[in-house]
Structure 1
Amino acid sequence: MTVHVREMTVDDCEAVATVRVRGWRHAYAGLIPRAYLDAMSVEEDTARRRAHLAEGGGRVVNLVAEHAGRVGGWGCYGPGRDADAAAGSAELYALYVLPERLSTGTGRALLDELTARAAGAGYQDMRLWVLAGNERARRFYAKAGFAPDGAAEAFEVGGVSVPEVRYARRLSASVAAAPSLG
C-alpha cells in the first residue's frame, strides 16, 4: 500500500476537515466531552481552512497523505509557540488520520515527511502536545523518537480541563536528507 504525502491545497480543505473531525471523534472519545465532539462541523472547519489558506497560511506547513488518490491523513507544523521555545524549535500542531487508515503507515508517512521538512527548514527540534490519556498517540510518538520533556498543562475544551503532556525530539541533518515521500 503506497502512501503519497504532498502539500495541502485549497481543494483539500473539505477532505482535511473530514479527517480532523473524524480523527477527533475517534481519538478523543472518552477524553473530551461527547457534546463537544458531536458539535464539531466539517462544513465550519472547511470554511476556516479555506480562509486560512487564502490568507497565505503564514509559516505553517500543511501536508496531506493520500492513498489511491484519496486523502486519509493531514498534519501541520510551524514555529514553536510555547514561551520557552527557542528560535530553532518547531511544533507539530496537528496530525490526524481517518480511523480506517490507522495502522496502515499513513500517520508514519506524514510524520516522517513533516519532521524531514522541519529539519530541512533549519529547525533543530520538534515539540508537540498530546492528551495525557491518549495512549495510542503517545505510543505512536514514542516509536518515532519523541519523548515527554516534563512539561504539562491543562487544555480547556467544552468546559472541561483535559491534561496534556509535551513531547520533544531532536531533528538532525540526516532526517532532512532522508528521501521525501512527497
Structure 2
Amino acid sequence: MMRVREMDEADIGAVSTIRVRGWQAAYAGIVPQTYLDAMTDEGDAGQRRQLFPQPRRKSRDLVALGDRGPVGWICFGPCQHEMSGVGRVGEVYALYVAPDLIGQGIGRRLLGEAHAQMKSQGFEASALWVLCDNQPARRFYERAGYQADGATRDDVYDEITLTELHYQRVL
C-alpha cells in the first residue's frame, strides 16, 4: 500500500538516493556519463539539507511511501518564469521514482497530488521542463495532459548542451 505525504527532513537521505538513481537511470545516454558518475547521494543530500529548512522557500515537496519508505518524490511551486496569456501558473520542478519501481503508478500518484495542491492554492495551470531526448518522460507527461508549447531552453552538462522542452497543462 502506497501513500503520499509532505516530505520532512528525515526523508532527505532517501529522496537524494531516489533523485541520484533517477538521474543515472533516466538520463543514461542523454546526459554525459561523466556527469552522471560524479553524482552522489551524499552530495545531493548535503545541498538538500541546506535548502530544505529555508523559511521563505516557496516550493513544496511530497514523498510517496511504500513498504521500504520513500519510493518517489515530487517538488513543485510557483512557476519560475513568466507565461503570458495564462493565469496563475504552478510548476513541477522535479519528479523522480525509484528506478526499479517505475511503471507502478507512483509518479502518476505524486503528480496527481501535486496538481490537486496547486489547484487548491489558486494555480490555474501547471508547467514543467523535460529534456528533449527523454522520450519516456515526455510520453508520461503527455499522458497526464501536458503539451509542449514550443518554448525551449538549453542546459550545459560537462560542456555538452542539451535542450529542454517546456510543457504545460490546465489544472
> Shared fold by TM > 0.5?
yes
- Structure 1 segments of 4 or more deviating over 6 A? none
Residue 37 of structure 2: aligned partner:
38
Deviation at 1:56, TM superposition (A): 2.9
1:117 aligns with 2:117: yes
Secondary structure class of the residue paired with 2:92: strand
Question: What is the aligned residue count?
Answer: 170
Residue 6 of structure 1: aligned partner:
5
For the 8 Å contact 1:152–1:165, the answer to whether it is kept is yes
CA distance in 1, matches of 2:67, 2:14: 14
1:162 partner letter = L
1:129 partner letter = W
CA RMSD of aligned residues (A): 1.3
For the 8 Å contact 1:73–1:98, the answer to whether it is kept is yes
CA distance in 1, matches of 2:8, 2:53: 10
Residue 21 of structure 1: aligned partner:
20
Q: TM-score, normalised by structure 1?
A: 0.89
Residue 103 of structure 2: aligned partner:
103
CA distance in 1, matches of 2:108, 2:82: 28
CA distance in 1, matches of 2:87, 2:48: 26
1:162 aligns with 2:162: yes
Percent of pairs identical after alignment? 41
Deviates more, 1:153-162 or 1:83-92: 83-92
Deviation at 1:74, TM superposition (A): 0.5
For the 8 Å contact 2:74–2:96, the answer to whether it is kept is yes
CA distance in 2, matches of 1:84, 1:125: 10
Q: What do the CA deviations read for 1:62-94 (whole angstroms, capped 9, x no partner)?
A: 000111251111011111112436661111000
Structure 2 residues not aligned, in runs of 5+:
none
Secondary structure class of the residue paired with 2:52: helix
Change (3 A) 1:55 1:87: farther
1:58 partner letter = R
1:144 partner letter = A
CA distance in 1, matches of 2:68, 2:104: 15
CA distance in 2, matches of 1:165, 1:78: 19
Deviation at 1:115, TM superposition (A): 0.7
Structure 1 residues not aligned, in runs of 5+:
172-182
2:65 partner letter = E
Q: TM-score, normalised by structure 2?
A: 0.95
Residue 153 of structure 1: aligned partner:
153
